[in-house]
Amino acid sequence: MTAMGETKERPILFSRPMVTAILEDRKTETRRIARLNLSVMDPRGPDGPAKEGLRAEARRAALKIADFQVGRRLWVREEHYRYGHWELIPGKTTRTGRPKWRFVADLPGVTFDPPAHFRRAMSRSDPATPAWHKRLARFMPRRMSRLSLEITAVGPERLQEIEAWDVVAEGVDDPSWHDSFDYTGRDFIDFGAAIKAFAGLWETINGPESWDANPYVYVVQFRRLES
């Protein structure tokens, strides 16, 4: 429970390319799989003909219990590098019965650019010698995060409802998609190429056929907070 007046925070993971897009203000939204009760969304099934008023009310009810709320702050976990070594954890083993190790930092800070020499994982032959190590995003503590975001809008939709302009707002863009201007004077984006690129990105994160599954997602729009 947060104290009165305190803004609740939650961590969120982003890949290196997406972090770069956020830092360059090219990424202002993200899609995350929504754990929705589909019988609440529409008693006749996820694609049933529910009345729009009831559907909108169901969506609002679903969002009330979501992790993503307008005004909530997100702190970004990302891939990083730390200088340290590995130690055995006394009396602890993995699920397969092997000794369990932990990473111990020998320097207080982190770097986000890869050092000239670093280890991608624990060295089995020399775990105790301090060295730079590549650390996955999930291991980043709050105090090391360099990015904070504030949610400005959120809503559920089907994954494949994404539009070409949404793909750009997701931080995925390519100059070849833009064919000058259409008859309205607006920049025109190749819809097929944009959607194909986003579908490929989605499957690298969520696995094969995850695009075809077309799940409900939370569309989370945000702004980057100045540190």
Take residue 101 and report the two structure tokens written for it: 């190790």
Distance CA 135, CA 82 (A): 7
Are residues 203 and 213 in contact, defined by beta-carbon separation less than 8 angstroms?
A: no
Rg (CA), the chain: 21
Distance CA 182, CA 166 (A): 18
- 176 or 213: which leads in pLDDT: 213
Distance CA 130, CA 200 (A): 38
Q: How many CA atoms lie within 13 A of 119 on its CB side?
A: 19
Which of 21-25, 79-83, 127-131, 155-159 shows the lowest mean pLDDT across its residues? 155-159
Interior angle at CA 55, CA 54 and CA 56, nearest 5: 90
Average pLDDT over the chain, rounded to whole?
84
Which CA distances in Å does 222 have to 64, 68, 158?
Answer: 18, 11, 19
What was the pLDDT predicted at 65?
54
Take residue 201 and report the two structure tokens written for it: 């990105």
How many CB atoms neighbour CB 69 within 10 A? Answer: 14
**pTM for the structure as a whole:** 0.80
The pLDDT tens digits of the residues spanning 15-57 come to 999 999 999 999 999 999 987 655 555 555 555 555 455 556 5
Which domains does the chain carry? 9-76+145-225 (2.30.130.30), 80-135 (no CATH)
In degrees rounded to 5, what are phi and psi of residue 191?
-60, -50
- E-only strand ranges, the chain: 9-13, 29-33, 73-77, 80-93, 99-105, 131-135, 148-158, 178-181, 187-189, 216-225
